Amino acid sequence: MSSNEIPTREVARRVFAQEFNDAGYTFKESDDERAPVYLLLPTGERANRIFLVGTLTEKEDVGEDNEYWRGRIVDPTGTFFVYAGQYQPEAASALRDLEAPAYVAVVGKPRTYETDDGNINVSVRPESITEVDAATRDRWVTETAERTLERIETFDDEGNEYARMAREHYDLPVETYGQSVIEALESLEQADELSA
């Protein structure tokens, strides 16, 4: 990297919990040990960072010697698990101080780990956790639905290398995520009807 190149942060991808939890394949695009690690989303997009908004339904300090917080955050399609400890002090502090239930916005890095039975689970290592209002959550659902539909629309494009990778690594029809978009948007309509 030359001295006038400023390293930029990766774009935080909007993704629903259902698709995020179906992902499990990670890769690097170079052999450099500092190269970003990407999670391959089943709709054919790479994600080094994600942006999610949902309801923090529970939190727990699962650390033994040090604080290590686990948060459960629910969106209309499923559940995200976030883990924050001493290396994410702001996020850990936010989890400690928040009272569930609360709407939260999270920017973080996807992490994968293999369970004892060989399954791959994913979680989020948060960079930031911020309490938000219902309108912000609703806007995130709408915008995430749009991004998801865009990924589905371009999935079969000739030059979409990440979609090609997704086909190789996941045996999942992308139409599944179109259905989850519909359900997420319907959940907003139902919430609006209940509050009317």
Asked if the structure places residue 174 within a domain, the reply is yes
Asked if the structure places residue 73 within a domain, the reply is yes
Q: What is the DSSP letter of 14?
A: E
Asked if the structure places residue 108 within a domain, the reply is yes
Asked if the structure places residue 164 within a domain, the reply is yes
171: pLDDT strictly greater than 90: no
Global pTM value:
0.90
Asked if the structure places residue 76 within a domain, the reply is yes
Asked if the structure places residue 192 within a domain, the reply is no
Question: One-letter amino acid identity for 145?
Answer: A
Could you report the per-residue pLDDT of 64-102, keeping only the tens digit for each? 888 899 999 999 999 999 999 999 999 999 999 999 999
Q: Domain range spanning residue 181? A: 12-187
Asked if the structure places residue 2 within a domain, the reply is no
CB atoms within 10 A of CB 1: 6
pLDDT, mean over the chain: 91
Asked if the structure places residue 7 within a domain, the reply is no
Q: Percentage of the chain with pLDDT > 90?
A: 74
3: pLDDT strictly greater than 60: no
Give the relative orientation of helices 175-195 and 134-153 as an angle to the nearest 10 degrees.
Answer: 160
- Count of domains forming the chain: 1
101-119: burial string, b at 16+ Cβ within 10 Å, e else: eebbbbbbbbbeeeeeeee
Q: Give the model's confidence band at 25: pLDDT under 50 very low, under 70 low, under 90 confident, else very high.
A: very high
Could you report the per-residue pLDDT of 91-132, keeping only the tens digit for each? 999 999 999 999 999 999 999 998 888 888 999 999 999 999
* DSSP code per residue over 56-86: EEEEEE--SSS--EEEEEEETTEEEEEEE-T
- The CATH number for 167's domain is 2.40.50.140
